[in-house]
């Protein structure tokens, strides 16, 4: 057991946030914590990490358990470079390495004949410290740092970059990279997938799948939760319910549980009504008084089942249109995407060929900065194309959801924002539309400029529904939405009979909505039939097999290795000269192999393939074991010769 929480209560300003929370985390647990915005997820994490104290209840951590917690810019020293900050993780190991170098210098200054005893003492001390250094993976520090940094998307960022110059998203990624290097026994991650592209997301998932420790993850990325977690903690109305399985399994189990609770509640209510009716009819009759009193006592003893709260409100979305377009909705020929003009003009992607038919649901994916949002703005004539052309079919009416939500007027209220576009609409109708996306009460009179990101997104969806477009053009539509709203949006898009062209990083949505994935590359686009999982399967078939890991040829012993042996050992190794030479050659070869593998593991093309990294690390561990055994045998023979 790593952590145990018993009957936790927590509130702020008289408002109860958490009630009677009891839970525990075992070694190697994989837990996803979910709940609507404001449910208390961050508060619970702060309780677990000691940043907040509970009003009641207790939290116990096992002895010497290390806990890592990802927060924005967590624990980073802004004046350090990226490399300096990563080295801070290995401070105790680096101190050992410094001591080893000092011992080597002391040994080099000694004369074997005059200082034999001192040399032997230093030699034994050196051997013990070197063993500790090896067990702490001291020889792999550089490899580990480069592997994590490359995997977390820093392969193109110079290691001497000062942290203070990084963007907020980069700092968050770097904080996560540092946590992964620390390898705490309990790793708590709050929205770790923010600011990650598909490549980095995939690498992180593969890394965490084999993480040696427990994971507690808060995330709105349902695909991420599906792949990683084996249990889901659902925080709702201040209470915590634990479900076994991944996110998809949790959804099914929660639905079954709520149906069962509702049925149990209804059965008990029928029983209560029957007992109360019997008591009311028979309590005053002498012949049945005792039976009525017995029923009344049974009612008083009965443990009442609390009425299930039901599903929390979520936005209600429905997209409709007035007329059908022609079959060929959009034809794109040799399109080039470009931004800027004159000397500042920059091409993002070119040679784009794409045909979109009526009723199809197309998802555009690609690396950050490749031009996905620019593509949507280009085909909507919001920015001019850099070359090529495109043609919309007859009767097409587009409705656009913009990622940055810049189409709203910050000085207007939510109510006025709709009236500004649809002035003939009655106030009741406007309020009804806003209520459908969970903007009601005083929220409709808020200025758009002070609305939260989620509230602006809901207002934008209200406007999108009112446009009644038969082609929906959506740029990251799930940004700012909680899990319930994401699922409502997906259901609406799946029921929509028109055409959808969307850009999204939400892989769960990419598995449910589209029937075609279009990947943007710098020089062309590639189409894949099916959803995101189909895309991955087709991509994997197209990848060449990983090259076998080859062991380098054995070189001559290095100068450092030759220096390790004393002059007296060289002159006295007559009886065992052959074996010592073989061991020296083996050691040199193993060292060469270790150096080559360490270098290979840091290459970007290798770091991006977690399975290949694992294979090379396995060979590296095996080689280091052989190297250590050779050192031990060499030391034993040397002692025998010197004895």
| 311, pLDDT greater than 80 | no
Residues 6+ apart with CB under 8 A from 306: 265
pLDDT at 560: 40
Round to whole Å and give the CA distance between 344 and 342. Answer: 5
Q: SS3 breakdown of the chain: % helix, strand, coil, rounded to 5? A: 50, 20, 30
- How long is the chain? 643
Q: Which DSSP letter does residue 549 get?
A: P
Round to whole Å and give the CA distance between 441 and 424. Answer: 22
Residues 6+ apart with CB under 8 A from 584: 557, 561, 562, 634
Quickly state the pLDDT bin for 501 (edges 50, 70, 90): very high
C-alpha triplet 520, 521, 523: angle, nearest 5°: 120
Start-to-end C-alpha separation, the chain: 51
More confident residue, 628 or 324: 324
| 566, pLDDT greater than 70 | no
Report the pLDDT averaged over residues 613-628.
74
| Structural element, H or E, at residue 506 | none
| 532, pLDDT greater than 80 | yes
| 565, pLDDT greater than 80 | no
Tell me the pLDDT tens digit for each residue of 230-250. 999 999 989 999 999 999 999
Q: What percent of the chain has pLDDT over 70?
A: 88
Q: Report which of 182, 205, 211 is spatially closest to residue 192, judged by C-alpha positions.
A: 205
CA-only gyration radius of the chain, Å: 33
Mean residue pLDDT across the chain: 86
Q: What are phi and psi of 102, to 5 degrees?
A: -65, -40
Buried b (16+ CB within 10 A) or exposed e, 194-233: ebbebebbbbbbbbbeeeebbbbbbbbbbbbbbbbbebbb
Tell me the pLDDT tens digit for each residue of 98-120. 998 898 888 778 766 666 778 78
| 367, pLDDT greater than 70 | yes
pLDDT at 547: 59
More confident residue, 550 or 423: 423
Helix axes 427-436, 453-467, angle to 10 degrees: 120
The model scores a pTM over 0.85: no
Burial of 369 (0-12, 13-18, 19+ CB in 10 A): exposed
Quickly state the pLDDT bin for 639 (edges 50, 70, 90): low
More confident residue, 19 or 314: 19
Round to whole Å and give the CA distance between 479 and 493. Answer: 15
With contact defined as beta carbons under 8 Å apart, do 462 and 437 qualify? yes
Quickly state the pLDDT bin for 550 (edges 50, 70, 90): low
Burial of 405 (0-12, 13-18, 19+ CB in 10 A): middle
> Which among 361-370, 436-445, 542-551 has the top mean pLDDT?
361-370
pLDDT at 68: 93
Residues 6+ apart with CB under 8 A from 77: 84, 85, 88, 163
| 159, pLDDT greater than 60 | yes
């Amino acid at each position: 057991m790593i952590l145990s929480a018993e009957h936790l209560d927590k509130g702020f300003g008289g408002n109860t946030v958490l009630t009677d929370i009891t839970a525990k985390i075992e070694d190697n647990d994989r837990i996803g914590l979910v709940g609507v915005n404001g449910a208390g997820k961050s508060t619970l994490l702060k309780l677990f990490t000691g940043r907040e104290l509970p009003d009641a209840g207790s939290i116990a951590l096992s002895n010497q358990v290390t806990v890592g917690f990802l927060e924005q810019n967590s624990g980073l020293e802004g004046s350090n470079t990226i490399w300096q900050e990563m080295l801070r993780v290995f401070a105790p190991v680096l101190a050992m390495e410094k001591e080893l170098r000092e011992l080597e210098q002391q040994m080099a200054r000694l004369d074997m004949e005059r200082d034999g005893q001192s040399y032997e003492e230093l030699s034994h001390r050196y051997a013990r410290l070197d063993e500790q250094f090896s067990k702490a993976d001291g020889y792999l520090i550089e490899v580990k740092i480069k592997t994590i940094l490359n995997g977390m998307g820093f392969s193109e960022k110079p290691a001497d970059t000062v942290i203070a110059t990084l963007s907020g998203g980069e700092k968050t990624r770097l904080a996560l990279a540092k946590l992964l290097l620390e390898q705490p026994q309990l790793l708590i991650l709050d929205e770790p997938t923010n600011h990650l592209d598909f490549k980095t997301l995939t690498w992180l998932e593969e890394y965490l799948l084999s993480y040696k420790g427990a994971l507690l993850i808060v995330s709105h990325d349902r695909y991420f939760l599906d792949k990683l977690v084996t249990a889901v903690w659902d925080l709702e109305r201040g209470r915590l319910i634990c479900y076994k399985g991944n996110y998809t399994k949790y959804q099914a189990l929660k639905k079954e549980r709520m149906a069962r609770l509702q049925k149990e509640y209804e059965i008990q209510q029928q029983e209560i009504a029957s007992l109360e009716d019997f008591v009311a009819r028979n309590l005053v009759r002498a012949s049945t008084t005792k039976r009525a009193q017995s029923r009344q006592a049974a009612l008083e003893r009965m443990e009442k089942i609390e009425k299930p709260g039901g599903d929390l409100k979520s936005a209600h979305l429905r997209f409709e249109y007035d007329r059908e377009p022609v079959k060929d909705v959009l034809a794109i020929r040799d399109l080039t995407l470009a931004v800027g003009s004159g000397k500042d003009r920059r091409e993002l992607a070119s040679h784009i060929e794409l045909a979109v038919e009526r009723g199809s649901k197309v998802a555009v994916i690609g690396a950050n900065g490749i031009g996905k949002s620019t593509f949507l703005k280009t085909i909507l004539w919001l920015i001019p194309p850099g070359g090529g052309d495109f043609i919309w079919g007859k009767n097409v009416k587009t409705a656009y959801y913009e990622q940055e939500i810049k189409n709203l007027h910050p000085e207007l209220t939510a109510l006025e924002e709709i009236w500004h576009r649809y002035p003939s609409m009655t106030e009741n109708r406007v309020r009804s539309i806003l209520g459908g996306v969970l903007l009601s009460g005083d929220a409709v009179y808020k200025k758009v400029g002070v609305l939260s990101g989620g509230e602006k997104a809901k207002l934008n969806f209200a406007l999108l529904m009112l446009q009644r477009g038969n082609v929906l053009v959506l740029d990251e539509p799930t940004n700012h939405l909680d899990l319930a709203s994401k699922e409502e949006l997906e259901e609406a898009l799946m029921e929509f009979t028109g055409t959808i062209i969307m850009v999204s990083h939400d892989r769960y949505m990419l598995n449910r909505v589209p029937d075609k994935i279009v990947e943007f590359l710098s020089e062309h686009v590639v189409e894949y039939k099916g959803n995101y999982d189909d895309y991955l399967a087709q991509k994997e078939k197209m990848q060449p097999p990983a090259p076998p890991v080859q062991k380098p040829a054995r070189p001559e012993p290095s100068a450092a290795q030759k220096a390790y042996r004393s002059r007296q050992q060289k002159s006295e190794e007559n009886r065992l000269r052959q074996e010592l030479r073989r061991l020296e050659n083996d050691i040199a070869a193993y060292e060469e192999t270790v150096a080559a593998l360490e270098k290979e593991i840091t290459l970007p093309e290798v770091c991006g393939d977690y399975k290949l990294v694992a294979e090379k690390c396995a060979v590296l561990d095996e080689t280091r074991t052989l190297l250590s055994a050779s050192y031990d045998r060499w030391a034993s023979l040397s002692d025998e010769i010197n004895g």
